[in-house]
């Protein structure tokens, strides 16, 4: 299959404007006849569903939580980027574009990223108008902070709860459309498959998680906004329910999956405390603005951190990267922490932690200022660990946080299945091999508010004569039957091991072999390990209960089953990408100082994997990336 | 490392129609660094192993922000710790040998679905009745066009911090949703953007709250005491004021 990214002609800074002025429109009368399914109500899905409904389309929306307001986006802490240049520090659309391309280690598509930077400013306006209480200066204007990987201050924030406030904004817009009858909202429903008719996406199979009922829903187009797949690692900062199922089902129906091995390990999370651990908690990257990261200069130094004198501390980020210091991008900061801990300098009970110290900031700014900036994060830290960060440095360690990979989409955000779109974290666009902080919220809302509502019209304008397809169509019935049978199989398995125990074991394989550093031997081994564990899962998993009632174990089993298949694809992708770039660090490719070494000659492409059948290896397609505007250089934060 | 042995009395109810009852379980060897929900994970693994059905409970973020977790622990919504959701409660706050009682939110407007899981869609319907500012995508002026004083922004934020968990209702002897409604009404009434719909909003949201069967506020303050985000009852006073204001004007 050839990949057409449909990037419009013309100069980079005019592509989107030209596109918008030429894109075919759908008349209001026709919009009322067209039905769109949006799966997911996070920032991407919530904003898309609301905007599409405002435009006059008939929208059906689904989420697995008990309310659309609880999507994983709610947990984002630090902020959202926008090229407003309110601080007059030299920011611009071009600079945001450039920082994103560079931060992504030159593995993303110029045209998409430029468009993202262009619409970023509108997002802030929209959210302010919805009543999002962003942080303000005393004069009443919007406040900004800076985030890792950049040298300007362009991040808008609402205390440490930016995601919450932005999501509640989108949720309020969605609620308004629900009240008007323009959106039908299905809470506690899980999508189990895409329905394709004559090659086009025409609907979904969902299961009502409360009654267990399987349902068939038709749409002229289907939009997936189902978030990232970080939970393939078992332990991650994602919400417990975050999963790959929707995207994975799309992949198996012909949508290509791009760059699955590009995952982000966030440098500042609370370290693992024991085997029982169910998830990891992020400490916002914004803490690196004022906190200093260090480990003792001496191995196995067991003194309390406050007793270790200045001269015996190694502020290793400041030492290695004097220009960016504690604000280097996430991948660089994470690897540096691993390097110190592997070397035996790690702290805490497990030796898998480094200090994040606020003493200098408190001396310089006073406790009140520090508390105004980070108070709620400090509180959260104390609740979890029992330590007070005003008195003791925090202990932190990298953890899985975000997945840059996802469904391959073209400039229109359409997957390789006609009529099937992917927005937000579940697509692969914009962040290349490493995402900059505060850019996921920006991308989710850009996709949902300002991009998809235009681009979907291009497809739907050709579909205005298609009447709604009845859901007793054979392809609907077949898809429902498959979904039902798979659940039955899980329930009747009569095995002896819980879903959780399989998930934990899978996560460990993926973390050990496809985490912060990767090599040929481990990746090859992991493919075999995952296969045999997957076979064991289908032989031995034990799923209690029935499928006609609320059964969280059953839902979890289906998700974990898909994680197995995804895990294997991640290994293949990581193995094939024989270079280091961004979060993908292949031990075979590093400089003498241990920095990642890209191979632009052979790997300036996005990998797009095509499903070929359950027992046939997937096929690698490549979207070559061309850089007309940016010159590829070795990323340097020194 | 200290470990705990506990007796758990948990509400088990198979379906909305089922009567439901407490059942007693024992868990042992718990690490004090565990979260409360991780303790329940351990119990559930134990139940699955012994061919019993695990306890159903709602949870997602486990970071105290999504508002999904919802259980009454020893008679208190979200348990003993002030300003803390169940998922952020850790076992170091319990003692070896404790008996812990765990129940779902109890309120007519939050019917039990199964075990500790309740239906809170009434909250969504209250927001749909007016908890928004009517602004279509793309029609917003520049973000800095309308300055908002830092203090006003902060006060609006304090109200906006509500996570919609429903603990306030579970804590209230009248099962009133006043704190939840007050938080949203206040946030939007404080901001200049919220002015145009200010009067209709409060009337519509309050009447929806009544229609959904939530009780009336008699100022006991139990909601504030149990609210994991420490939303102040001052906002209920503001809600009442907003309500009267709209009547006077209307
Ligand atoms: C702790 C944390 C902090 C973060 N902080 C920041 C930050 O400060 N700045 C930033 O830019 N980014 C941040 N991020 C990243 C950012 O929050 C996410 O990338 C982003 O919110 C994803 O939004 P989304 O709309 O794509 O998906 P989500 O918000 O994950 O929404 C997914 C939706 O899909 C639904 N869904 C999924 N599968 C199914 C299914 N099978 N059937 C039905 N529904 C389904 C879910 O119910 C949910 O509604 C953070 C992430 C984490 C984990
Ligand atoms: S007011 Fe407090 S207790 Fe009530 S829903 Fe909001 S956060 Fe929960
Ligand atoms: S699980 Fe999200 S608030 Fe407790």
pLDDT digits (tens, 9 = 90+) for B165-204: 999 999 999 999 999 999 999 999 999 999 999 999 999 9
Query: pLDDT tens, A322-336?
Result: 998 998 888 889 999
Q: Do B129 and B226 fall within a single domain?
A: yes
Does residue B70's CB lie within 6 angstroms of at least one atom of ligand 3?
no
pLDDT category of residue B249 using cuts at 50, 70 and 90 = confident
Does residue B59's CB lie within 6 angstroms of at least one atom of ligand 3?
yes
Any idea which ligand is nearest the CA of A206?
Answer: 1
Q: From the list A47, A141, A240, which residue is nearest B62 (CB)?
A: A240
Residues with Cβ within 6 A of ligand 2? B 162-168, 179-180, 183, 227-229, 231
Does A69 have pLDDT greater than 70?
yes
CA angle A15, A18, A22 (to 5 degrees): 135
Question: What is the C-alpha to C-alpha distance for residues A609 and B130, in angstroms, rounded to an integer?
Answer: 45
Contact A598, A578 (CB under 8 A): no
Does residue B184's CB lie within 6 angstroms of at least one atom of ligand 3?
no
Q: Do B181 and B87 fall within a single domain?
A: no
Contact A116, A430 (CB under 8 A): yes
CB atoms within 10 A of CB A368: 10
* Residues facing B72 on adjacent strands: B77, B103
Query: Of the candidates B68, B88, B113, which is a domain's last residue?
Result: B113
Query: Residue B48: which domain range?
Result: 3-113
CATH number for the domain harbouring residue B39: 3.10.20.30
Does B135 have pLDDT greater than 70?
yes
**Which residue is closest in CA terms to ligand 1's atom 14?**
A76
Res A504: pLDDT: 97
Res A629: pLDDT: 95
Q: Best interface-test mutation with B: which of A161, A381, A546, A552 has the largest number of B CBs within 10 A?
A: A552
pLDDT category of residue A46 using cuts at 50, 70 and 90 = very high
- Using DSSP, state whether A381 is helix, strand or coil: helix
Distances, alpha carbon A215 to alpha carbons A161, A467, A472, B109, B110, in Å: 35, 20, 11, 27, 25
Q: Do B242 and B137 fall within a single domain?
A: yes
Mean pLDDT, chain B, whole residue set: 96
Q: From the list B14, B138, B140, which residue is nearest A128 (CB)?
A: B140
Chain-chain contact of A128 with B143 (C-beta, under 8 angstroms): yes
Does A149 have pLDDT greater than 70?
no
Does A36 have pLDDT greater than 80?
yes
* Residues facing A363 on adjacent strands: none
Q: Do B13 and B40 fall within a single domain?
A: yes
How close, in Å, is residue A107 to chain B by CA atoms? Answer: 30
Q: What is the mean pLDDT of residues A10-19?
A: 97
Does A531 have pLDDT greater than 70?
yes
Res B1: pLDDT: 60
| Chain B CB contacts of A185 below 8 Å | 124
Domain ranges of chain A: 266-399, 477-605
Query: pLDDT tens, B35-90?
Result: 999 999 999 999 999 999 999 999 999 999 999 999 999 999 999 999 999 999 99
Q: Do B88 and B106 fall within a single domain?
A: yes
Query: pLDDT tens, A413-471?
Result: 999 999 999 999 999 989 999 999 999 999 999 999 999 999 999 999 999 999 999 99
Which tokens belong to A355?
């200090």
Q: From the list B38, B133, B143, which residue is nearest A131 (CB)?
A: B133
CATH 3.90.700.10 assigned to A266-399: yes
Contact A215, A195 (CB under 8 A): no
| Chain A CB contacts of B128 below 8 Å | 175-176, 178-179
Q: Do B165 and B230 fall within a single domain?
A: yes
| Chain B CB contacts of A498 below 8 Å | 45, 48-49
Question: What is the C-alpha to C-alpha distance for residues A315 and A111, in angstroms, rounded to an integer?
Answer: 38
- What ipTM was assigned to the predicted interfaces of this complex? 0.98
Please tell me the distance between residue B179's alpha carbon and the centre of ligand 2 in angstroms: 7
Q: Do B108 and B227 fall within a single domain?
A: no
Percentage of the residues of chain A whose pLDDT score is greater than 70: 100
The chain A residue lying nearest B62, using CA atoms, is: A239
Q: What is the mean pLDDT of residues B105-110?
A: 97
Q: What is the mean pLDDT of residues A13-36?
A: 96
Mean pLDDT, chain A, whole residue set: 95
Does A148 have pLDDT greater than 90?
no
Does residue A246's CB lie within 6 angstroms of at least one atom of ligand 1?
yes
Percentage of the residues of chain A whose pLDDT score is greater than 90: 90
Which tokens belong to A338?
């691993």
Query: pLDDT tens, A470-507?
Result: 999 999 999 999 999 999 999 999 899 999 999 999 99
Question: What is the C-alpha to C-alpha distance for residues B22 and B103, in angstroms, rounded to an integer?
Answer: 9
pLDDT category of residue A183 using cuts at 50, 70 and 90 = very high
Does residue B68's CB lie within 6 angstroms of at least one atom of ligand 3?
yes
Does B123 have pLDDT greater than 70?
yes
Q: From the list B59, B128, B141, which residue is nearest A179 (CB)?
A: B128
In the block, residue with structure tokens 């009336």: B216
Query: pLDDT tens, A351-410?
Result: 999 999 999 999 999 999 999 888 888 988 998 999 999 999 999 999 999 999 999 999
How close, in Å, is residue A630 to chain B by CA atoms? Answer: 30
How close, in Å, is residue B180 to chain A by CA atoms? Answer: 14
Does A255 have pLDDT greater than 70?
yes
Q: Do B109 and B17 fall within a single domain?
A: yes
The chain B residue lying nearest A500, using CA atoms, is: B45
CB-based contacts of A337, cutoff 8 Å, min separation 6 = A267, A293, A354, A396, A397, A398
Does A112 have pLDDT greater than 80?
yes
Chain-chain contact of B138 with A450 (C-beta, under 8 angstroms): yes
Q: What is the mean pLDDT of residues A600-621?
A: 97
Q: Best interface-test mutation with B: which of A77, A279, A547 has the largest number of B CBs within 10 A?
A: A279
Chain-chain contact of A277 with B56 (C-beta, under 8 angstroms): no
* Residues facing A396 on adjacent strands: A354
Res B235: pLDDT: 98
Q: From the list B63, B128, B194, which residue is nearest A178 (CB)?
A: B128
Question: What is the C-alpha to C-alpha distance for residues A63 and A67, in angstroms, rounded to an integer?
Answer: 7
Res A78: pLDDT: 85
CATH number for the domain harbouring residue B243: 1.10.1060.10
Which residues of A carry out catalysis?
Answer: 330
In the block, residue with structure tokens 């029609």: B139
Q: Do B97 and B160 fall within a single domain?
A: no
How many structural domains are present in chain B?
A: 2
Q: Do B42 and B15 fall within a single domain?
A: yes
In the block, residue with structure tokens 């090659």: A199
Q: What are phi and psi of A277, to 5 degrees?
A: -55, 130
Q: Do B98 and B132 fall within a single domain?
A: no
The chain B residue lying nearest A75, using CA atoms, is: B65
Q: Best interface-test mutation with A: which of B44, B116, B143 has the largest number of A CBs within 10 A?
A: B143
Please tell me the distance between residue A440's alpha carbon and the centre of ligand 1 in angstroms: 9
Q: Do B109 and B142 fall within a single domain?
A: no
Number of residues written out for chain B: 250
Any idea which ligand is nearest the CA of B226?
Answer: 2
Question: What is the C-alpha to C-alpha distance for residues B209 and B185, in angstroms, rounded to an integer?
Answer: 12
pLDDT category of residue B250 using cuts at 50, 70 and 90 = low
CB atoms within 10 A of CB A532: 9
Res A398: pLDDT: 96
Class level of CATH domain A477-605: mainly alpha
Q: Which of A444, A31, A187 is nearest to B127 (CA)?
A: A187
Please tell me the distance between residue A498's alpha carbon and the centre of ligand 3 in angstroms: 23
């Amino acid at each position: 299959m050839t990949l057409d990214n449909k990037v419009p002609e013309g100069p980079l800074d005019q592509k989107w404007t030209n596109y918008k002025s030429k894109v075919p429109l759908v008349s209001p009368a026709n919009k009322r006849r067209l039905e769109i399914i949006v799966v997911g109500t996070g920032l991407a899905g919530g904003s898309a569903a609301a905007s599409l409904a405002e435009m006059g389309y008939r929208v059906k929306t689904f989420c697995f939580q008990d309310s659309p307001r609880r999507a994983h986006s709610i947990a984002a802490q630090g902020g959202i980027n926008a090229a407003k240049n309110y601080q007059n520090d030299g920011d611009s659309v071009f600079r945001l574009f450039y920082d994103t391309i560079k931060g992504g280690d030159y593995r993303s598509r110029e045209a998409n990223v430029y468009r993202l930077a262009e619409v970023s400013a509108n997002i802030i306006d929209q959210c302010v108008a919805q009543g999002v209480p962003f942080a303000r200066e005393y004069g009443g204007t919007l406040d900004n902070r800076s985030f890792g990987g950049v040298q300007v201050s362009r991040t808008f924030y609402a205390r440490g709860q930016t995601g919450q406030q932005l999501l509640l904004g989108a949720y309020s817009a969605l609620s308004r459309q629900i009240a008007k009858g323009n959106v039908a909202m299905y809470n506690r429903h899980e999508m189990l498959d895409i329905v394709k008719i004559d090659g086009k996406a025409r609907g979904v199979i969902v299961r009502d998680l409360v009654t267990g009922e399987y349902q068939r829903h038709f749409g002229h187009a289907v939009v997936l906004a189902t978030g990232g797949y970080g939970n393939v690692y078992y332990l991650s900062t994602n919400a417990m329910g975050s999963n790959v199922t929707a995207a994975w089902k799309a992949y198996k129906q012909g949508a290509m999956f791009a760059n699955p091995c590009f995952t982000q390990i966030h440098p500042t999370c609370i370290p693992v405390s024991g085997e029982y651990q169910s998830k990891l908690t992020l400490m916002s990257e914004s803490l690196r603005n004022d906190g200093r990261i260090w480990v003792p200069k001496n191995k196995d130094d067991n003194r309390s951190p406050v007793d270790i004198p200045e001269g015996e501390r190694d502020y290793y980020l400041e030492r290695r990267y004097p220009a960016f210091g504690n604000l280097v991008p996430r991948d660089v900061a994470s690897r540096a922490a691993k390097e110190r801990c592997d070397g035996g300098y790690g702290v805490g009970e497990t030796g898998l932690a480094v200090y994040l110290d606020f003493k200098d900031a408190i001396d310089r700014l006073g406790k009140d200022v520090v508390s105004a900036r980070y108070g709620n994060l400090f509180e959260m830290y104390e609740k979890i660990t029992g330590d007070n960060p005003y008195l003791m440095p925090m202990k932190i360690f990298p953890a899985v946080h975000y997945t840059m990979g996802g469904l391959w989409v073209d400039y229109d955000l359409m997957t390789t299945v006609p009529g099937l779109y992917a927005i937000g974290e579940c697509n692969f666009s914009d962040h290349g091999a490493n995402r900059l902080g505060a850019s996921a919220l920006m991308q989710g809302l850009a996709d949902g508010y300002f991009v998809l509502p235009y681009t979907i019209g291009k497809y739907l304008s050709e579909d205005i004569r298609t009447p709604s397809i009845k859901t007793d169509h054979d392809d609907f019935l077949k898809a429902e039957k498959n979904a039902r049978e798979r659940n039955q199989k899980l329930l009747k398995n009569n095995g002896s091991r819980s879903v959780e125990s399989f998930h934990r074991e899978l996560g460990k394989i993926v973390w050990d072999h496809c985490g912060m550093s990767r090599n040929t031997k481990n990746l090859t081994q992991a493919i075999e390990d995952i296969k045999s564990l997957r076979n064991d899962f289908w032989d031995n998993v034990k799923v209690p209960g029935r499928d006609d009632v609320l059964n969280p174990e059953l839902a979890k089993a289906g998700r974990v089953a898909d994680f197995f298949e995804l895990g294997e694809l991640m290994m293949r992708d990581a193995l094939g990408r024989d270079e280091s770039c961004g979060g993908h660090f292949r031990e075979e490719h590093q400089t003498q100082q241990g920095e990642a070494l890209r191979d632009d000659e052979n790997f300036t492409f996005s990998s797009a994997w095509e499903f070929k059948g359950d027992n046939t290896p997937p096929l690698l397609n490549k979207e070559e990336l061309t850089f007309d505007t940016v010159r590829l250089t070795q990323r340097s934060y020194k | 490392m200290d470990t705990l042995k506990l007796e758990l009395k948990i509400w088990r109810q198979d379906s909305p129609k089922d009567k439901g009852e407490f059942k007693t379980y024992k868990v042992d060897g718990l690490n004090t660094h565990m979260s409360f929900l991780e303790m329940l994970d351990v119990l559930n693994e134990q139940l699955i192993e012994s061919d019993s059905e695990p306890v159903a409970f709602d949870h997602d973020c486990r970071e105290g922000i999504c508002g999904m977790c919802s259980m009454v622990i020893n008679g208190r919504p979200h348990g003993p710790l002030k300003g803390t959701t169940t998922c952020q409660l850790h076992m170091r706050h319990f003692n070896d040998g404790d008996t812990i009682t765990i129940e779902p939110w109890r309120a007519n407007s939050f019917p039990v679905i199964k075990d500790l899981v309740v239906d809170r869609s009434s909250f969504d319907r209250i927001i749909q009745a007016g908890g928004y500012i009517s602004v279509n995508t793309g029609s917003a002026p520049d973000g800095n066009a309308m300055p908002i004083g830092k203090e006003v922004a902060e006060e609006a934020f304090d109200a906006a911090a509500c996570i919609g968990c429903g603990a306030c209702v579970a804590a209230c002897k009248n099962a009133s949703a006043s704190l939840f409604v007050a938080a949203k009404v206040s946030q939007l009434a404080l901001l200049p953007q919220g002015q145009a719909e200010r009067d209709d909003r409060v009337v519509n949201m309050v009447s929806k709250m009544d229609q959904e069967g939530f009780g009336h506020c008699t100022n006991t303050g139990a909601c504030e005491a149990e609210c994991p985000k420490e939303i102040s009852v001052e906002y209920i006073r503001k809600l009442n004021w907003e309500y009267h204001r709209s009547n006077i004007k209307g």
